[in-house]
Copies of this chain bind each other. A is one copy, B any other.
């Protein structure tokens, strides 16, 4: 067994494999021996539980002649090439690489099937929270209609800091970076790309359909202001970055990531700090929720090692992980066709006929209104309109037309709403 990448997660994987060797032997049926560790840090820079003799920067040398390869490099290359070569050489692969899977999943799953090896990736979504297992195995006898969740701890921490401590986005981001919850370059987190990769994986599993990261409609949290959060709270909502995967009609799938107004009574509204939570709705099971630490070396290592035990047990006792299941091949809706409810806050002229004009815009674009509420304001009037669930394209055109409507002074905020 070799480990590619001895960073935050990899070093915890190596530590636990050493400390709990007896448990792993009992649970998998074989002693799990690390034969090589691929890392750019020199042996002397490694923590004491890493055997310097095993460390090499030559990753290629670690994917030949091993039973299991644990890929924790992240990114597309060289991870993709190494994983493909490892599987072609007969190794099962355990990875935490959501970007790789959400970009090259079909190629990798086909390679695993061809080689007759396992490809496991529990740690790629929501850290230690076993939602990949749940969707792939526990719910294999059910029909999932919806998956929605907080799958990026960094952005949840930032939004939570803004809500509970009144910080600006910039200050909350700086806090997250100081505490190690956000990277120096926070793009993947705050622009929603990390969550989008996870949404693609969740939707693929839930709907037995190939969904890649480019299929996901994405909006990050960079533009969210303290005023947006305060207004959300005043309106009875928490503002969360959600990944939302919906079955639409008989043959469609809507997959999106965006800041969302979540009613305070909704279970996802109560998820604080860097935690993750995923709600799954299925026809027979009803609503399930999974909650836990979505990031950090030890929680991700827990998920990786659960997969390692399963892959090792298959080596010893026979059998394989469930293969990719993409038979349903549902239609993945494009950005204009995904569905959501939406809240629009407008500063409008304080005069007769404003509501009629605004309602007319909604009607012309085929968007049905759920509620209209006047928000106290110093000058002009401010109204908040919440739509029913509608096509994103129709919502987009509605907002564009509102901007051109004379009585509308300003479109203050446009935010998706989760109904409950």
A residues in contact (CB < 8 Å) with B: 12, 16, 20, 23-24, 26-28, 122, 127-130, 133-134, 137-143, 208, 267, 270, 282-293, 296, 298-299, 301-310, 313-314, 317-320, 322, 325, 327-328
CA distance A24 to B325 in the complex (A): 12
Query: Chain B residues with Cβ under 8 A from A292's Cβ?
Result: 285-289
Whether the Cβ atoms of A325 and B138 lie closer than 8 Å is no
Known: A27-B208, A133-B130. A302 touches B314 (CB 8 A): no
Nearest residue in B to A16 (C-beta to C-beta)? B284
Whether the Cβ atoms of B325 and A26 lie closer than 8 Å is yes
A143: which of B20, B318, B320, B325 is its contact (CB, 8 Å)? B20
Chain copies in the assembled complex: 2
A23: which of B143, B285, B288, B307 is its contact (CB, 8 Å)? B143
13 chain-A/chain-B pairs, Cβ below 8 angstroms: A16-B142, A27-B140, A130-B288, A137-B309, A138-B306, A140-B310, A141-B301, A141-B305, A141-B306, A283-B298, A287-B293, A288-B291, A291-B291
Query: Chain B residues with Cβ under 8 A from A308's Cβ?
Result: 141
Query: Chain B residues with Cβ under 8 A from A305's Cβ?
Result: 140-142, 284
Shortest distance between the CB of A191 and any CB in chain B (Å): 27
Query: Chain B residues with Cβ under 8 A from A127's Cβ?
Result: 285
Whether the Cβ atoms of B317 and A320 lie closer than 8 Å is yes
A318: which of B12, B288, B293, B318 is its contact (CB, 8 Å)? B318
